[in-house]
């Protein structure tokens, strides 16, 4: 039979010995290997964060994000959060995907993101809230919705609360509805959210 | 088991953390029964009289307990020609494309990970011999890898039950197996010799990287046991282990698109698979 038994193959491309130096040099494969070699190294967070903004290869960028996520400290979380303000939509999306796999860091940073001066960041923060346990994120969203001035942010928060809101959310939804009484979409979304929260509250426990 | 023997919530959390750090598999309160049964088994096997003494043994890896513990937690439930639409796609589309696009006269490399007790890599070997005429003119290397070393030992022995052969025709069983008794069959030595088995932890690049690059990887029904963070790491390890333009097949409930943007979706007539782009993204 032609199928063959072979010895172990030679090691694939070795991890660079100086990953910090290689992170911004060489071809994409070397930068990829460098980014992965730095996973979990707190002292490499600044270099990874800088490389993130300069990196043009989507694959290498992904590896940098994963390495920052594996480091999981406050510095790496800050570096990822900064990307939410980028003009580069792909970078923002990758940052969102990464924060979703860092629930502890996300729980820490979410209040600040929900109160950010930039409404676009607040919209993204509402979506991130969906990925935390409801007992953590729902009170934050309730508080935000109570006085959020931007209708798009309200719509994002209402959408999440429709899934995970509780009886405490009803007052925040009503307050939002009163502020934006002229918005047909928000009125509709709030009505749906109220119905879902009401239906959930009446479900038998078990 | 008596309530007095049940592990506490905190003990379950510590055990879950331990297992997660080493394997990427997530076991929380919702899987208490599954965890408790396996802890009981390992405590009985090691003679531990309390969870605390067992956990101390585990953390110090006394007597190789970490490996035994991980082995106890893996699922080795599979059979020959499982999800054979992907095997059809292998021989009708993927291999032809690999032969067209790859450079040099290297062997075609196929990785079955996790391979459990060998059903999948042996199925690949049999399928190629049965359904891919070019098999006669190409060197093909099939590697089967799993984190469970007991499963690998069983795969190397190559003895299977009726249940594991249920999808095979009597003709295929007669052609590729030797009956040991009414309930057990051993796969032919030629097929056994065509698959190399290795241990591997999919979330540890130090273990995946030495396996080199493959043309096709079968990685089915394992990522579902990982959490999002571990899935990302596993996906990047698998990406490294694919040759540019190489393919990866996941289980039918799994989607690489929800895990990592590194791969492109390829829709073939028989299966949807994922592909490492032939070029860097740039």
Q: Do A1 and B194 touch (CB under 8 A)?
A: yes
Q: Do A4 and B194 touch (CB under 8 A)?
A: yes
Query: Residues A59, A114: one domain?
Result: no
Q: Torsions phi, psi of B182, nearest 5?
A: -70, -20
- Distances A55 to A34, A67, A77 between C-alpha atoms, Å: 13, 14, 18
User: Domain spanning B3-73: which CATH class is it, in words?
Assistant: mainly alpha
pLDDT at residue B248, rounded to an integer? 98
Give the mutation candidate from B112, B194, B258 for the A interface (greatest A CB count, under 10 A).
B194
Higher-confidence position of B104 and B58: B58
Rounded to whole angstroms, how far apart are CA atoms A203 and A130? 21
In chain B, residues with a C-beta closer than 8 Å to the C-beta of A100 are: 228
Q: Which 8-state DSSP code applies to residue B70?
A: H
ipTM over 0.90: no
Q: Do B236 and A29 touch (CB under 8 A)?
A: no
Give the mutation candidate from B30, B109, B232, B235 for the A interface (greatest A CB count, under 10 A).
B232
pLDDT at residue A40, rounded to an integer? 86
Cα–Cα nearest to B235, from B214, B250, B215, B253: B250
pLDDT at residue A202, rounded to an integer? 58
In chain B, residues with a C-beta closer than 8 Å to the C-beta of A101 are: 227-229, 232
In chain B, residues with a C-beta closer than 8 Å to the C-beta of A97 are: 261
Please check whether residue B159 is in contact with residue B90, taking contact to mean a CB–CB distance below 8 angstroms. Answer: no
A46 part of a folded domain: yes
- Distances B121 to A104, A105, A116, B118, B215 between C-alpha atoms, Å: 39, 40, 53, 6, 14
Rounded to whole angstroms, how far apart are CA atoms B216 and B263? 13
A7 part of a folded domain: no
Measured in whole angstroms, the distance separating CA A73 from the mean position of its chain's CA atoms is: 15
Q: Do B212 and A12 touch (CB under 8 A)?
A: yes
Single pTM value for the model: 0.78
Note down the domain range covering A139.
Answer: 110-206
For chain A, how many structural domains are there in total?
2
Query: Residues A157, A201: one domain?
Result: yes
pLDDT at residue A132, rounded to an integer? 87
Query: Residues A68, A126: one domain?
Result: no
**Residue A72 belongs to a domain with what CATH number?**
1.25.10.10
Q: Is the peptide bond before A71 cis (omega within 30 degrees of 0)?
A: no
Q: Do B260 and A62 touch (CB under 8 A)?
A: yes
Q: Which fold has domain B84-275?
A: Rossmann fold (3.40.50)
Query: Residues A206, A115: one domain?
Result: yes
A1 part of a folded domain: no
Rounded to whole angstroms, how far apart are CA atoms A62 and B127? 36
- Distances B100 to B83, B104, B128 between C-alpha atoms, Å: 26, 11, 18
A4 part of a folded domain: no
Query: Residues A91, A143: one domain?
Result: no
Query: Residues A22, A96: one domain?
Result: yes
Q: Which 8-state DSSP code applies to residue B92?
A: I
User: Beta B177-179 vs B264-267: how paired, if at all?
Assistant: unpaired
Give the pair of three-digit tokens for residue B113: 């990970």
- Residue A199: pLDDT band (50, 70, 90) is low
Rounded to whole angstroms, how far apart are CA atoms B188 and B186? 6
Asked whether the predicted pLDDT for residue A11 surpasses 50, the reply is no
Q: Do A58 and B281 touch (CB under 8 A)?
A: yes
| pLDDT (tens digit per residue) in A40-53 | 888 899 999 999 98
Q: Do A59 and B280 touch (CB under 8 A)?
A: yes
Does residue A17 sit at the B interface (CB-CB below 8 Å)? no
Query: Residues A116, A92: one domain?
Result: no
pLDDT at residue B187, rounded to an integer? 97
pLDDT at residue B44, rounded to an integer? 92
Longest distance between any two alpha carbons in chain A, whole Å: 77
pLDDT at residue A9, rounded to an integer? 47
Q: Do A2 and B140 touch (CB under 8 A)?
A: yes
- State chain A's mean pLDDT as an integer: 86
Query: Residues A179, A204: one domain?
Result: yes
A window 67-96, beta carbon within 8 A of B? 69-70, 94
Query: Residues A68, A131: one domain?
Result: no
Lowest mean pLDDT among B69-73, B124-128, B212-216: B69-73
A5 part of a folded domain: no
| pLDDT (tens digit per residue) in B222-264 | 998 888 899 999 999 999 999 999 999 998 878 898 889 999 9
- Enumerate the domain spans of chain B: 3-73, 84-275
Rounded to the nearest angstrom, the minimum Cα separation between A146 and chain B is 32
Domain's final residue, options A101, A134, A158: A101
Q: Do A57 and B282 touch (CB under 8 A)?
A: yes
A168 part of a folded domain: yes
A34 part of a folded domain: yes
- Residue A200: pLDDT band (50, 70, 90) is low
A63 part of a folded domain: yes
Long-range CB pairs of B61-70, under 8 A, 24+ apart, other chains included: B66/B22, B67/B149, B68/B42, B69/B19, B69/B38, B69/B42, B70/B19, B70/B22, B70/B23, B70/B147, B70/B148
Does residue A27 sit at the B interface (CB-CB below 8 Å)? yes
Please check whether residue B128 is in contact with residue B98, taking contact to mean a CB–CB distance below 8 angstroms. Answer: no
């Amino acid at each position: 039979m032609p199928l063959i038994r072979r010895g172990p193959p030679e090691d694939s491309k070795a991890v660079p010995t100086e990953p910090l130096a290689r992170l911004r040099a060489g071809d994409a494969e070397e930068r990829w290997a460098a980014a992965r070699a730095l996973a979990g190294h707190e002292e490499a967070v600044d270099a990874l964060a800088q490389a993130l903004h300069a990196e043009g290869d989507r694959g290498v960028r992904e590896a940098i994000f994963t390495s920052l996520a594996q480091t999981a400290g406050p510095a790496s979380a800050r570096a990822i959060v900064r990307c939410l303000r980028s003009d580069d939509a792909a970078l923002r999306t990758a940052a969102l995907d990464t924060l979703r796999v860092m629930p502890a860091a996300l729980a820490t940073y979410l209040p600040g993101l929900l109160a950010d001066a930039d409404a676009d960041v607040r919209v993204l923060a509402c979506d991130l809230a969906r990925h935390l346990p409801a007992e953590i994120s729902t009170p934050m969203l309730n508080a935000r919705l109570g006085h959020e001035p931007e209708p798009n942010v309200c719509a994002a928060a209402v959408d999440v609360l429709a899934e995970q809101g509780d009886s405490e959310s009803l007052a925040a939804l009503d307050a939002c509805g009163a502020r934006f009484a002229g918005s047909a979409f928000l009125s509709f979304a709030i009505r749906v959210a109220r119905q879902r929260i009401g239906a959930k509250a009446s479900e038998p426990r078990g | 088991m008596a309530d007095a023997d049940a592990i506490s919530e905190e003990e379950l959390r510590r055990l879950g953390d331990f297992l997660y750090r080493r394997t990427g598999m997530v076991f929380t309160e919702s899987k208490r029964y599954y965890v408790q049964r396996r802890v009981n088994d390992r405590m009985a096997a090691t003679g531990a009289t309390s969870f605390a003494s067992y956990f101390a043994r585990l953390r110090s890896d006394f007597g190789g307990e970490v490996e035994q513990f991980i082995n106890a937690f893996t699922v080795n439930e599979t059979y020959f020609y499982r999800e054979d639409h992907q095997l059809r796609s292998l021989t009708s589309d993927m291999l032809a494309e690999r032969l067209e696009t790859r450079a040099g006269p290297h062997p075609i490399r196929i990785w079955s990970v996790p391979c459990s007790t060998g059903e999948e890599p042996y199925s690949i070997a049999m399928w190629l011999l049965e359904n891919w005429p070019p098999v006669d003119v190409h060197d093909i290397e099939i590697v089967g890898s799993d984190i469970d070393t007991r499963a690998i030992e069983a795969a190397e022995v190559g003895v299977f039950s009726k249940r594991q052969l249920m999808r095979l025709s009597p003709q295929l069983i007669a052609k590729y197996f030797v009956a040991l008794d009414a309930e057990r069959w051993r796969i032919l030595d030629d097929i056994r010799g065509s698959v190399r088995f290795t241990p591997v932890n999919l979330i540890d690049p130090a273990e995946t990287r030495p396996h080199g690059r493959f043309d096709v990887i079968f990685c089915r029904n394992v990522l579902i046991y990982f959490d999002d963070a571990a899935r990302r790491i596993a996906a990047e390890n698998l990406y490294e282990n694919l040759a540019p333009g190489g393919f990866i097949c996941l289980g039918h409930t799994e989607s690489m698109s929800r895990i990592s943007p590194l791969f492109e979706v390829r829709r073939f007539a028989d299966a949807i698979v994922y592909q490492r782009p032939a070029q860097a993204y740039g």
